[in-house]
Chains A and B, each alone.
Chain A
Amino acid sequence: MADESPKPTAPVPRTTRPMSEALLNEKWDRCLSSMLIRSGLGVSFGVVFSVLLFKRRAWPAWVGLGFGAGRAWEECDNSFKRTAAPSKDGLRVMRP
């Protein structure tokens, strides 16, 4: 039975919309990558500033890292918060 079943009938994974159970995981991936990139950028900016302006002190690099990570965190937070609520796109908001 198992070997008889035709292989090409396997469902083609649709790339347009992820499956709903993978939604959260995808968000986490995005968050992590953005955090990496942003904190890296922040660190590099901090290093550059520390070399150029602050006589190779360590703290500008830490500040840059903090800035980058903070931005990533904020973005991630926003994305999590936005998706939890049902989207209100296309709905008219009635105000009292």
Chain B
Amino acid sequence: MLRASILRARPALRPIAPGARPQRRVAQRFYADGKKLGDTTIPNPSPTVSPTNASPVENAAIPPSDVPKPPPAPEAASATRSAPVAQPATTPPTGPGSASVAPDPQPPKPKKRRLRRLLFWTVLLSTLGYAGGVWYSLVSDNFHDFFTEYIPFGEDAVAYFEEREFRKRFPGRAGQPRLHPQVRGENKVTIPGKSGLTSRVADHDGSDLAAKGPHVSAVDANPQSGPPAQTAAPKVGSDDPATGEPKKDRVDEKPTESASHHLLPKDEKKPEPAKETKAPAAAPAQPIMPIDHLNVPQAGEPVVQDVVKIVNDIITVINADPSRASKYDSTLEKAKSDLGKVVSDINLLKENLRKSAEEKIKAAHSEFDAAAKELVQRLDHQMQAQETHWKEEYENERERLAQSYRERLQAELDAAKKVYEQKLKNELLEQSISLQRSFASSVRDQVEAERDGRLGKLNELSSSVHELEELTAEWNSVVDANLKTQHLVVAVEAVKAALENQITPRPFITELAALKEIAADDPVVSAAVASINPAAYQRGIPNSAQLIDRFRRVAQEVRKAALLPEDAGVASHLASLAMSKVLFRKSGLAVGQDVEAVLARTEVLLEEGDLDAAAREMNGLQGWAKVLSKDWLSECRRVLEVRQALDVVATEARLQSLLVD
């Protein structure tokens, strides 16, 4: 019913909603119209630039609602003024012209703008997110994996940035791609067949080492690659600048010479350059003849050769100088003539040196000879000394050996003599012993024969004495056993007395120990003592008077609980307590199994001294009465045990005393 009513009500509601919607839209539109009028002047046919430009800026920076509206420009003001005029026309959709002007541009614009803004933000955010993702994947390995796995083009982007970073860090390897090309599936690199190293026999164009080559000078290696004339020219100049110009035509030979060692005497090659230098220099002036170093005295001497070479060099330099006017000639001639003197000086020096060396050698020879002689002498001395020493030692050793052998011989002789003497003595002794024995046996025979009767009597006497001794010994054992039993009896009596004459129960462990010691290892006594409860002799047992006294106390309590039924509660306990006060006492040997009768009988038995029967009577109680009398009963039992054990020991002692004999 209710549902039906709701259903019925719904169709009525339905038309309302669509009806409400247009209304709201109209209101919106109206509201939007009014709002837009202030800041945008789109309907204006000739919009000014300044307000439209200003409004987005304001929109971006500050929310438009907060910003106070700027005073409208005169054109805008006119527009606003004109807008209210147009407003009544817009509200109803009257004509197409007016509708297209005011409301039409407005609705699509927010949509478009919203779409645009949405797009813009989406793009911006996604770009930012992407960039952030790329950056973070460069930072974090975990995120890198995620990013490259799930984000499209993420791997490429990250790889690009990594590549950039890598290039920045290693600029040297910038050109080469980091990964091997084949990984990316590119073409394989083919290596041409002739590239690389090949085995080839070295061609020996200049087999002699004197020729120029890399083994002579590393300086030559470079100039050979270039044009020879250009590279050689500065080289010659650097080596000896004075001879630069005339030597230009001989570049091929000169570098080797200049580069090689100057000190080496080059006999074959030296004169040729010297002579050739002379030829071009002859033209301008009188050339000076260089010294022929082969004709110089002591030509084989390297020092002389060096001096000659120096002089020759100077001559060549002077010859090469075009501007000289034979002013050095005399000096050079003098130098040439002095050369001989220098040579003679050198020879003199050499001679002196040789002489001094020979003298030194002679002195050393003589010294060595003296030393050798001394050494030989010393050796001879040593050998002689050693020989005499050894001789002495040999003599001593021989003497010692002889002595020892002599001693040993003497000792052996003595020993043999002694053995012989001993043997003789032994024989003598044996003879004397045998003689004595025969003499004694003969004497004994004679004496035996004489005193046979008397000795027999003596033997009888001694045997009778032995018998007497045995008898007395037996009697001694009897007396000992009697004493022992007496001791035992005394000990038992002591224990009994200790038990009877006590006011309070006290331990009788010392007495018992004494009894056990006296009994020694009598099995019966030890068994009897062992049968006593340890608590009894450790804590002591009461005597009969104490037992009776305690019984009276126990009986009072038991009487209180005499009338209790089984499983009694508080009420029955109370009742029993009260009723027991008025209960008649029984006395004497009462008949019956009730508590009162049992108590009366027990008392009588106790007074008679029959502890055993009293304990039996009390043991017959039931329930609470038994619980209350439990301690007294156990005490009774202990007393009985002790009494029994003592009786056994006493009987044993009596038996022992009877068993004797």
Contact = CB atoms under 8 A, between A and B. Distances in A.
B33 interface: no
Contact of A81 (B502, B558, B569): B569
B539 interface: yes
B567 to A, nearest CB: 6
B63 to A, nearest CB: 65
Contacts of A23: 627-628
A80 B576 CA distance: 13
A3 to B, nearest CB: 10
Nearest to A10: B504
A80 B628 contact: no
Contact of B629 (A9, A11, A21): A21
Nearest to B505: A11
A23 B624 CA distance: 10
B363 interface: no
Contacts of A10: 504
Contacts of B652: none
A24 B560 contact: yes
Interface string B554-567: 10011011001011
A81 B568 contact: yes
Interface in A7-37: 9-11, 19-25, 28, 31
Interface string A30-53: 010000000000000000000000
Interface in B500-540: 501-506, 539-540
Given A5-B502, A11-B504, A21 B567 contact: no
Nearest to B506: A9
Given A24-B560, A77-B570, A1 B501 contact: yes
B632 A31 contact: no
B380 interface: no
Contacts of A91: none
Nearest to A73: B570
A24 B570 contact: no
B254 interface: no
Contacts of B564: 84
B568 A84 contact: yes
A21 B628 contact: yes
B503 A80 contact: no
Interface in B387-405: none
B570 A20 contact: no
A84 B624 contact: yes
A85 interface: yes
A10 B504 CA distance: 6
Contacts of A63: none
Contact of B569 (A9, A28, A80): A80
A24 B577 CA distance: 11
A22 B628 CA distance: 7
Given A77-B570, A81-B567, A20 B503 contact: no
B553 interface: yes
Most-contacted residue by chain B among A5, A20, A21 (CB, 10 A): A21
Contacts of B554: 21
Nearest to A25: B557
B507 to A, nearest CB: 8
Interface string A73-89: 10011001101110000
Most-contacted residue by chain A among B566, B567, B627 (CB, 10 A): B627
Most-contacted residue by chain A among B502, B567, B629 (CB, 10 A): B567
Contacts of A28: 573
A20 B504 contact: no
A11 B627 contact: no
Given A76-B570, A81-B567, A84-B566, A20 B540 contact: no
A94 interface: no
A29 to B, nearest CB: 13
B623 interface: yes
A25 B556 CA distance: 12
A76 to B, nearest CB: 5
Contacts of B503: 2, 5
A6 B504 CA distance: 10
Nearest to A76: B570
B567 A20 contact: no
Contacts of B607: none
B628 A85 contact: no
Contacts of A22: 557
A81 B553 CA distance: 24
Contacts of B506: 6, 9, 11
B173 interface: no
A25 B566 CA distance: 19
A60 B274 CA distance: 156
B561 A20 contact: no
A2 B503 CA distance: 7
B619 to A, nearest CB: 14
Contacts of A25: 557
B631 interface: yes
B329 to A, nearest CB: 153
A80 to B, nearest CB: 6
What 3 pairs between A and B have smallest CB-CB spacing? Answer: A20-B631, A9-B506, A77-B569
26 contacts: A5-B504, A9-B506, A9-B540, A11-B506, A19-B631, A20-B627, A20-B628, A20-B629, A20-B630, A21-B558, A21-B628, A21-B631, A21-B632, A23-B627, A24-B557, A24-B560, A24-B573, A24-B628, A76-B570, A80-B569, A80-B573, A81-B568, A84-B564, A84-B566, A84-B567, A84-B568
Given A20-B632, A21-B632, 19 more contacts: A1-B501, A5-B502, A9-B540, A11-B504, A20-B627, A20-B630, A21-B553, A21-B558, A23-B628, A24-B557, A24-B560, A24-B561, A24-B573, A24-B628, A28-B573, A31-B570, A73-B570, A76-B570, A84-B567
